[in-house]
Chains A and B, each alone.
Chain A
Amino acid sequence: MKKTLTINLAGLVFNIDEDAYYCLQDYLGKIKTYFSEEKEVNDIMHDIETRIAELLGEKITPTKQVVTLQDIEEIIKIMGEPHEFGDPDKEKKSTYYRTSTKRVYRDPDNRILGGVCGGLGAYMGVDPIIMRIIFIVIFFGFGAGLLIYLILWIIIPEAKTTAQKLEMRGEYVNVSNIGGFVREEFENLKNSFKGKKKS
C-alpha cells in the first residue's frame, strides 16, 4: 500500500505516488534553478510541465491510474537532466565558477585530530597522509610542527555544509553537484552501517 498525492500539472490532474512526487518535484526544481537567469523561466517551465503532462497522460490507463516512480524516471530520461541540455554558454559559466571558489577548510570526514591535514590535502590535491608525514617531520625536526598545527586548527574553518565541502575540493557548487555529493555521503553512511553489522 502506498500513499498518493493529487497534482495539477499544466491544468491536468494526476494521482501520483508519494515517492514519485518527490522525485518529480526535485527534478523540476533542478530545471528551474538551471534556467533561473533566463528571462522567460516561467514560460520554459510551463512548456516543460506541459510536455511532462502529455507524456504522463500516455502512461495512465483505466487499469493503471496512478503515476509511479518508474514513470517519472522514464520521463526524466526522455526530458534529460539539466546538464544534458547541452547549452554551451551555461557550461562556460560553470567552469569559470569552478576556478574561483577553491578554499581551505578543515575536513571533518578525513580527520585524526582537527582535520587540518585532510583539508590541506584536499586543497592541494595531495594525499592527507603525505601532509601528516610533513607535519610530523616538522615536529621532530624543528619542534614547531605542533604549534603550527594548533594555529592552523584555530584559523581554518571547518567545512560544515555540503557546499563548503565541494568548495574545499574545488568542485563548483550547483544543484546537481550537491545532489550527487549528498547521494555519495548517503552511500558511505549505508556502507559503514553494513560494515558495523557484520563485525
Chain B
Amino acid sequence: MNLENAKAQMRKGVLEFCILSILSRGDAYASDIIKKLKESELIVVEGTLYPLLSRQKNAGLLSYRWEESPQGPPRKYYALTDKGKEFLKELSSSWSELMDAVNSINNK
C-alpha cells in the first residue's frame, strides 16, 4: 500500500465527480472545466483531464458538440446526458454518505 497511489485513487474518483458537477451547471468546453478545477487545486497539469473526459463520453455520461470560436480552433462543448445526470445524482448522495461516515469515525 503506498501513499501516492492511495491519494491518486482518491483524487481520480473525486475528479470524475467534480467534472460531472461542473457540467451540471451548464455546458462547458475543456478549458472552462480546466480553469475551475485549477482554481480549486484539484488538478495540477491539464493532461489529467482529457482521458477522463474521453472515458466519461464513452460511458455515455457526456455528449459533445462542436462550436466555432472567435479565435482559435473550433471548441468541443461538453454536456451531461440523461444518464450522466442520473449518475451525478447517485454520486452526490453517496458522497454525502461517505463524508458523514468518515467524519463520524474521525470524530469518535
Instruction: Give the B-binding residues of A (Cβ under 8 A).
Output: 10-12, 31, 35, 38-40, 43-44, 47-48, 50-51, 53-54, 57, 78-82, 84-88, 91-92
Q: Which residue in A51, A85, A88, A92 is a CB contact (below 8 Å) of B51?
A: A85
Residues of chain A with a CB closer than 8 A to B36's CB: none
Provide 22 A-B residue pairs closer than 8 Å at the C-beta atoms, listed in order of the A residue.
A10-B73, A11-B73, A12-B73, A31-B47, A40-B58, A43-B57, A44-B50, A44-B54, A47-B53, A47-B76, A51-B30, A54-B31, A54-B72, A78-B45, A80-B48, A81-B45, A82-B47, A84-B44, A84-B47, A85-B51, A86-B12, A86-B44
Known A54-B73, A87-B12; contact A80-B45, beta-carbon cutoff 8 A: yes
Q: Considering residues B31, B47, B54, B57, which has the most beta carbons from chain A within 10 angstroms of its beta carbon?
A: B47
- Report if B11 contacts A (CB, 8 A): yes
- Report if B94 contacts A (CB, 8 A): no
Residues of chain B with a CB closer than 8 A to A40's CB: 54-55, 57-58
State the CA gap A86–B57 with chains docked (Å). 20
What class of interface size applies to chain B in its complex with A?
20 to 34
Residues of chain B with a CB closer than 8 A to A35's CB: 51
A160 CB to nearest chain B CB (Å): 33
A46 CB to nearest chain B CB (Å): 9
Q: How many A-B residue pairs have CB under 8 A?
A: 79
State the CA gap A87–B50 with chains docked (Å). 12
State the CA gap A162–B12 with chains docked (Å). 33
Known: A12-B72, A87-B8. 4 other contacts (CB 8 A): A40-B58, A47-B53, A86-B11, A86-B12
Residues of chain A with a CB closer than 8 A to B44's CB: 80, 84, 86
Q: Which residue of B lies closest to A80 (CB)?
A: B45
B41 CB to nearest chain A CB (Å): 13
State the CA gap A53–B5 with chains docked (Å). 32
* Interfacial residues of chain B within 1-56, with CB under 8 A of chain A in the complex: 4-5, 8-9, 11-12, 30-31, 44-48, 50-51, 53-55
User: Contact between B31 and A51 (Cβ–Cβ < 8 Å)?
Assistant: yes
User: Contact between B76 and A50 (Cβ–Cβ < 8 Å)?
Assistant: yes
B102 CB to nearest chain A CB (Å): 20
Residues of chain A with a CB closer than 8 A to B54's CB: 38, 40, 43-44, 47
State the CA gap A74–B5 with chains docked (Å). 27
Residues of chain B with a CB closer than 8 A to A81's CB: 45, 47
